[in-house]
């Protein structure tokens, strides 16, 4: 039976990636109905560590995984590498003597323990002593309750993780209150800030982006772009020698690299470099997310009768976070780029068939299962649920290989 998982980034105070929370999505056809917590966690662990490999899912970052009362009392976390998981204890777990004993042993062996959806209760003191991270929902928890909770935790050596951080304002508030880690959608949604002029460096990058996206651009022009930029040449070599290509022999010259890639892939490589540079002042995870979206949309396009160009879907996904990267409205950015009208409509107005592909990618990120099913049916995407999950895993692997 096909299994589905998702991941949500967890960032530090510098908006840099710390780890992921892995989420169980269910089995065919995208449902969580009638699935116990035990089965959900067991399936998640099996898919992540035994079937796929944690390196493909998380790039070896620590993964927060929910454990139920039963699985904890059976000491299941000890069967997995302590360097790769954070044992997340759900809010409905009872602090029995057996459970506390297991948690103390896990902590002594070097496992990190996190308390999920934390609301202070005196009975939880033994678990707080075992925990390294405490997660608080900053959206649902009243501000005065958060303040009282933080005061009670002052004497404990724990780090605070703010959940449901959905806006820049949420992030700044939690940061001031002393939270160390942050989880939510705030970094992937356009931040509402006043319009400002772009720096000259960003303008030059946009010009380069425009040149690469022009249909009439020749291979010779692309070679010229690479030849005068040492950094791009270096990244090209690293790109072709990354794990994604599984090459038996290294590519040692730029000329060899260009010949190997061909015009289509060379254009794509330059797009990746430029977008990465545009995101240089933002979290690396932002670039990774754009790459995952790009590849995922492309693969979905190949499986749908409604797509005329999987290449345009790749560009759409790759450009979907440009407004956040540049701090500039998407409509203004689209006016500067010579890309097709459907791509512009999808990015600037979220309309048209192409926008539906991007909506699937975003729904995947947010674990919106019903929406995923509806959108997939709308596009008539062929293949089983396993096909869609394989596409997402391929996209994650693609992004990890480049970054």
pLDDT single digits (tens) 303-354: 887 655 777 888 888 888 888 777 778 888 888 777 788 989 999 999 988 9
Q: For residue range 356-396, what is the model confidence (pLDDT) as tens digits?
A: 999 999 888 877 878 888 888 888 876 655 677 888 888 88
Nearest to 105, CA basis, from 137, 128, 75, 81: 75
Q: Supply the pLDDT for residue 179.
A: 96
Q: d(Cα 189, Cα 168) in Å, to the nearest integer?
A: 9
Q: Where in the chain is the domain with CATH 3.20.20.450?
A: 3-183
Q: d(Cα 318, Cα 334) in Å, to the nearest integer?
A: 13
Other C-beta atoms lying within 10 Å of the C-beta of residue 347: 27
Q: d(Cα 81, Cα 48) in Å, to the nearest integer?
A: 12
Q: Phi-psi region for residue 243, left (φ > 0), alpha (ψ -120 to 50) or beta?
A: alpha
Q: Which residues of the chain have pLDDT under 70?
A: 1-6, 24-59, 187-211, 213-217, 224-235, 237-257, 276, 278-284, 306-308, 382-386, 401-403
- Would you give the distance in Å from CA 158 to the centre of its chain? 25
CB burial of 18-32 (b: ≥16 within 10 Å; e: otherwise) equals bbbbbbbbbbeebee
10 Å CB burial of residue 384 (0-12, 13-18, 19+) is exposed
356 half-sphere exposure, CB direction, 13 A CA radius: 18
Other C-beta atoms lying within 10 Å of the C-beta of residue 7: 22
How far apart are the two ends of the chain, measured CA to CA in Å?
Answer: 32
pTM across the whole model:
0.54
SS3 62: coil
Instruction: Classify the C-alpha dihedral 360-364-366-371 as positive or negative.
Output: positive
Domain 3-183 has CATH 2.60.15.10: no
Domain 200-402 has CATH 3.40.50.300: no
Q: d(Cα 342, Cα 89) in Å, to the nearest integer?
A: 45
| Stretch (H or E) spanning 23 | strand 17-27
Q: Where in the chain is the domain with CATH 1.10.3210.10?
A: 200-402
Q: Supply the pLDDT for residue 150.
A: 94
**What dihedral angle (degrees, nearest 10) is formed by the CA atoms of 207, 208, 210, 213?**
180
In whole angstroms, how large is the CA radius of gyration of the chain?
Answer: 23
| Stretch (H or E) spanning 182 | strand 181-183
Token digits for 280?
A: 């240089």
């Amino acid at each position: 039976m096909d299994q589905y998982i998702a991941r949500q980034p967890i960032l530090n105070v510098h908006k840099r990636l710390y780890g992921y929370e892995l989420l169980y999505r269910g089995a065919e056809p995208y449902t969580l109905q009638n699935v116990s917590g035990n089965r959900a966690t067991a399936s998640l662990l099996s898919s992540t560590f035994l079937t796929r490999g944690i390196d493909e899912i998380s790039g070896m970052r620590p993964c927060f995984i929910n454990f139920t009362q039963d699985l904890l009392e059976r000491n299941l976390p000890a069967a997995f590498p302590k360097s790769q998981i954070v044992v997340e204890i759900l809010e409905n777990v009872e602090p029995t003597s057996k459970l506390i004993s297991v948690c103390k042993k896990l902590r002594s062996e070097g496992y990190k323990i996190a308390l999920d959806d934390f609301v202070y209760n005196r009975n939880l003191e033994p678990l707080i002593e075992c925990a390294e991270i405490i997660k608080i929902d900053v959206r649902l928890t009243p501000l005065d309750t958060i303040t009282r909770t933080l005061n009670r935790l002052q004497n404990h050596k724990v780090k605070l993780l703010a959940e449901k951080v959905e806006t820049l304002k949420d992030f700044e508030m939690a940061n001031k209150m002393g939270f160390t880690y942050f989880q939510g959608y705030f970094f992937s949604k356009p931040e509402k800030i006043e319009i400002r002029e772009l720096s000259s460096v960003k303008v030059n990058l946009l010009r380069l982006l425009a040149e690469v996206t022009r249909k009439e651009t020749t291979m010779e022009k692309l070679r010229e772009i690479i030849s005068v930029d040492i950094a791009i040449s270096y990244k090209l070599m690293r790109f072709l020698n990354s794990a994604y290509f599984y090459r038996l022999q290294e590519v040692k010259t730029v000329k060899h690299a260009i010949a190997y890639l061909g015009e289509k892939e060379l254009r794509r490589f330059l797009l990746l470099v430029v977008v990465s540079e545009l995101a240089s002042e933002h979290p690396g995870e932002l670039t990774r997310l754009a790459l995952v979206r790009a590849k995922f949309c492309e693969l979905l396009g190949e499986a749908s009768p409604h797509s005329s160009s999987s290449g345009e879907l790749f560009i759409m996904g790759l450009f979907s976070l440009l407004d956040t990267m540049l701090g500039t409205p998407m409509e203004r950015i689209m006016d500067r780029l010579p890309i097709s009208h459907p791509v512009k409509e999808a990015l600037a107005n979220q309309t048209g068939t192409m926008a539906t592909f991007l909506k699937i990618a975003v729904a995947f990120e947010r674990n919106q299962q019903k929406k995923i099913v509806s959108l997939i049916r709308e596009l008539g995407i062929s293949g089983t649920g396993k096909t869609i999950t394989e596409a997402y895993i391929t996209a994650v692997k693609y992004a990890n290989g480049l970054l």
